[in-house]
Amino acid sequence: MPLVTTTEMFKKAYDGGYAVGAFNVNNMEIVQGITEAAREQHAPLILQVSKGARAYANHTYLVKLVEAAVIECPDIPIALHLDHGPDFETCKSCIDGGFTSVMIDASSKPFAENIALTRRVVEYAHDHGVVVEAELGSLAGVEDEVNVSAEDSSYTRPEEVEEFVSKTGCDSLAIAIGTSHGAYKFTAAQCTRNEQGVLVPPPLRFDILEEVSRRLPGFPIVLHGSSSVPQEYVRMINANGGRMPDAVGIPEEQLRKAATLSVCKINIDSDLRLAMTGSIRQYFAEHPDHFDPRQYLTPARANIKAIVTHKLIDVLGCAGKA
């Protein structure tokens, strides 16, 4: 099947009590690792591209890599999504350039400006058969060119969501309930420590999610910044010359719970970066004489496939749902 929008995926995910994984892609090995996992697990899939990824790999290369994945995975629905579109022009460029879904992130602007810009993108996108994700509230953390300090972050205000969705016509809504971008989602001061000395972050605000869902029945909700920062990968990196002290993410049980509620799309990027970097560091430590990129990218790609397989089955619950 050709690239699809997320409309049908989200309807099935909402009704089925699971979420679709949205994984960021930047190069061929990442696209292959993710899509091989989704094909084997027969899972619907969102491949997403950030502004930073377009700057790194070039729009055309990324679209063609994803189109190749669609040919290789004929039995699963795949959507191509712009992650954190910063302005109308970037969204338009992706809508015109083969994407089936875009996010306009005007969450840092005042409410009325967020509505106006989102509305403008929605009108253009819907005229071209493309769906739009918008955002209310803002997440802390760093992701490519999005950088919000903990003080400037704010939870989504449920009392705003009905007006926002009805005035913009957006197709899905990203909300802030305590997830965060990057591999250092919380400072030590925001966390407690378990017996192993590993940071335990504050729980997600399920009360906000439930109130949003009550006000927007049947409407798909999106969670950004939802990597769990598996400590096995942090240890693999640190044991092989890396230095990532106190990297911490969102516990997988909390994401699993969100997926059973109104959350239909969960964004995971940092965990794939950690899996890839950990395996490359380990490979170089074990084979200091090797210099063929295929040698160290083969286990890196396999590790991406392994973590995505785990997410599809154990966190998102979307295995077998394609």
For residues 224 and 321, which CB has a smaller minimum distance to Zn ion in the complex?
Answer: 224
Of 29, 27, 70, the C-alpha closest to 303 is 29
Which of 224, 305, 311, 321 touches Zn ion (CB under 5 A)?
224
CB 288 to Zn ion: min, Å? 37
Q: Which is nearer to Zn ion, 225 or 317 (CB)?
A: 225
Residue span binding Zn ion (CB under 5 A) among the ranges 187-195, 217-225, 243-251, 314-322: 217-225
Q: Which is nearer to Zn ion, 216 or 266 (CB)?
A: 266
Closer to Zn ion by CB, 185 or 224: give it.
Answer: 224
**All residues at 6 or more sequence positions from 250 whose CB lies less than 8 Å from its CB, including other chains:** 179, 180, 185, 201, 204, 225, 226, 227, 228
Q: How far is the CB of 31 from Zn ion (least distance, A)?
A: 19
> How many Cα atoms within 13 Å fall on the side-chain side of residue 17?
2
51 part of the interface to Zn ion, by CB under 5 A: no
Return phi, psi of residue 313, to 5°.
-80, -50
Cβ of residue 84: shortest distance to Zn ion, in angstroms? Answer: 6
Residue 91 C-alpha from the chain's centroid = 17
Please give the helix or strand (H or E) that residue 93 lies within, else none: helix 88-96
Nearest distance from residue 105's CB to Zn ion, in Å?
A: 8
Q: How far is CA 122 from the centre of its chain?
A: 21
Q: Which is nearer to Zn ion, 146 or 322 (CB)?
A: 146
Span of 162-170, 222-230, 283-291, 308-316 interacting with Zn ion by CB under 5 A? 222-230
Residues 250-289 that bind Zn ion (CB under 5 A): none
Packed helices 206-215 and 252-260: angle between N→C axes, nearest 10 degrees: 10
Q: Which is nearer to Zn ion, 224 or 311 (CB)?
A: 224
Binding range to Zn ion, per CB under 5 A, among 35-43, 49-57, 223-231, 244-252:
223-231
Nearer to Zn ion, 147 or 260 (CB): 147
Q: How far is the CB of 194 from Zn ion (least distance, A)?
A: 27
Helix axes 28-41, 59-72, angle to 10 degrees: 30
| Residue numbers annotated as active site | 83
Question: Token digits for 254?
Answer: 């909390």
Gyration radius (Cα) of the chain, Å: 19
Q: How far is the CB of 286 from Zn ion (least distance, A)?
A: 34
Stretch that binds Zn ion, among 35-43, 152-160, 221-229, 308-316 (CB under 5 A): 221-229
- Structure tokens that stand for 59 in this block: 């729009």
Interacting span for Zn ion (CB under 5 A) from 43-51, 216-224, 255-263, 292-300: 216-224
* Tokens read off for 109: 């602007």
Q: How far is the CB of 236 from Zn ion (least distance, A)?
A: 25
Beta strands in 52-156 (DSSP E): 78-85, 101-104, 131-136, 140-143, 146-148
The number of residues that bind Zn ion (CB under 5 A) is 1
Q: Which residues contact 161 (CB under 8 A, 6 or more apart)?
A: 136, 173, 175, 212, 215, 216
Helices (H), 143-222: 161-168, 206-215
Q: Which residue is nearest to Zn ion (CB)?
A: 224
CB 317 within 8 A of CB 13: no
Binding positions for Zn ion, rule: CB under 5 A: 224
